[in-house]
Amino acid sequence: MKKILGILLVLVILGSGVLFAAGQQESGLIKVGIVNLPPEESGYRQANVEDMNTVFSTANGYDAKQTNTMDNSEQIAAAKGYIRDGVDYLLISAANASGWDDTLKSAKDAGIKVILFDRAIDTAESNYQAALLSDMAYEGAKAVEWVLGLGLPKINLILIRGQMGSAAEIGRSGAVLDAAKAGKLNIVADGTGGDSWSLEEARKIVEAAIAAGKDFNVIYAENDGMAQGAVQALEAAGITHGKDGKVKVIGFDFNRFALRNVQAGYWDADMQCNPRQAAEISKWIKSGSLPSGIIYQEELLLTTATITDEDIEKWGINADPGKGVITR
């Protein structure tokens, strides 16, 4: 009798294990590791992080975790952790474009599909499955085309870069540097808002240029927060700007506060960088048919002359302060 009970107990235990394993399979959750920058980096990143969390949720069929850091080495460590955890997909928006080769190769060897989003990585296309990117070089070229088309007799520009070495900084700065080399514009001050794309650092760059007596008529700030900081310095010094002012101002990212500033003529232009990649990537995953190589998102440049309320509603990110409201 004891022998029979023992056999039954073993069968029950084994059966429980089989049922547990079957339950895991039947859950159908797709395991995803997301390596991203932190939301406090910028308004763009806030929208991007929220988008990733919303789409890659349990309700949508995912078992997803997201790591957010501006430190490239910490990002790489997080990616390696997701590889060890055996994720099905690894999604990466890299803080820095270099240093990823070994990690990407490890993911590939483990049979994990790597999808880059937002930012490119300096690596062979064979090291990842697909990339849904903002074309930072296109963004820079489009913004510089607008600057060159302003009709200014001489362009004296303050360049305010983002995080040095990031794909966004490289692409957006590259077009300015190329135009300067070609003699199409002068860079009278060149600084960076640092890893956090800091409003305060941007303001200091413009304050220093003013204090040094630099003559400038264009502010080219590589995100909206830094454009805001730059304009704060102009305001404090009593320098006119925007539609009817001396200094023309362009930012990047399409935060709704920035678009309202453009609409009001307080700034002159804003270049889009679309943070909403998650739904398209999820569509790829759910279809079972992933594209390969780089896919670029279509992005716009809006000016005081062209912007509409519909543009702000459709394309803007984060809170809308309302029509006619200027964010200083």
Q: List, for residues 254-305, the tens digit of each pLDDT value.
A: 999 999 999 999 999 999 999 999 999 999 999 999 999 999 998 999 999 9
In a domain, 164, yes or no: yes
Q: What is the pLDDT of residue 27?
A: 60
Number of residues assigned to the chain = 328
Residues 210 and 294 in one domain: no
User: Measured between alpha carbons, how far is 234 from 246 in angstroms, rounded to an integer?
Assistant: 10
Q: Regarding beta strands 248-252 and 269-271, do their DSSP bridges make them parallel or antiparallel, or are they unpaired?
A: parallel
Residue 90, beta-bridge partner list: 33, 114
With respect to residue 44, please indicate whether it lies within any of the assigned structural domains.
Answer: yes
pLDDT in tens, 97-132: 999 999 999 999 999 999 999 999 999 999 999 999
Domains identified in the chain, total number: 2
**Based on the domain organization, do 171 and 293 belong to the same domain?**
no
* pLDDT for res 125: 96
| 241 token code pair | 């700007």
From edge to edge, which strands make up the β-sheet containing 89-92?
62-68, 30-36, 89-92, 113-118, 130-133, 293-296
Evaluate whether residue 45 is within a structural domain. Answer: yes
Q: Within its chain, how far is the Cα of 259 from the centroid? A: 18
Residue 162's nearest CA partner among 75, 216, 221, 96 is 221
Please compute the mean of the pLDDT values over residues 141-147 and round it to a whole number: 98
- Are 143 and 127 members of one domain? no
Neighbours of 72 (CB within 10 A): 19
The structure tokens listed for 198 are: 């800091």
Element (H, E) at 270: strand 269-271
Span 172-212, pLDDT tens digits: 999 999 999 999 999 999 999 998 999 999 999 999 999 99
Cα-flanking dihedrals φ and ψ of residue 250, to 5°? -130, 135
Confidence (pLDDT) at 15: 41
In a domain, 78, yes or no: yes
pLDDT at residue 18 is higher than 60: no
User: Measured between alpha carbons, how far is 134 from 254 in angstroms, rounded to an integer?
Assistant: 13
Q: What is the pLDDT of residues 223-238, one digit of tens each?
A: 999 999 999 999 999 9
* pTM score: 0.81
Query: For residue 233, what are its two tokens?
Result: 């310095």
The pLDDT of residue 16 is 40
Are 293 and 267 contained in the same domain?
Answer: no
What residue numbers bound the domain in which 216 lies? 136-274+302-315
How high is the pLDDT of residue 41?
87
How far is Cα 68 from Cα 74, in angstroms, rounded to an integer?
9
pLDDT tens for 20-78 read 332 233 468 999 999 999 999 888 999 999 999 999 999 999 999 999 999 999 999 99
* 12, pLDDT greater than 70: no
- Residue 154 pLDDT > 80: yes
Q: What CATH number has the domain bearing residue 182?
A: 3.40.50.2300
Residue 5 has pLDDT above 80, yes or no: no
Verify that 181 and 307 share a domain, yes or no.
yes
pLDDT for 167 equals 87
161 and 249 co-located in one domain: yes
- Identify which has the larger pLDDT, 15 or 174: 174
Are residues 146 and 112 part of one domain?
no
Is the pLDDT score of 13 beyond 70? no
Shared domain for 111 and 238, answered yes or no, is: no
- Same domain for 309 and 183: yes
Task: Please give the Cα distance from 278 to 52 (Å, whole number).
Answer: 5
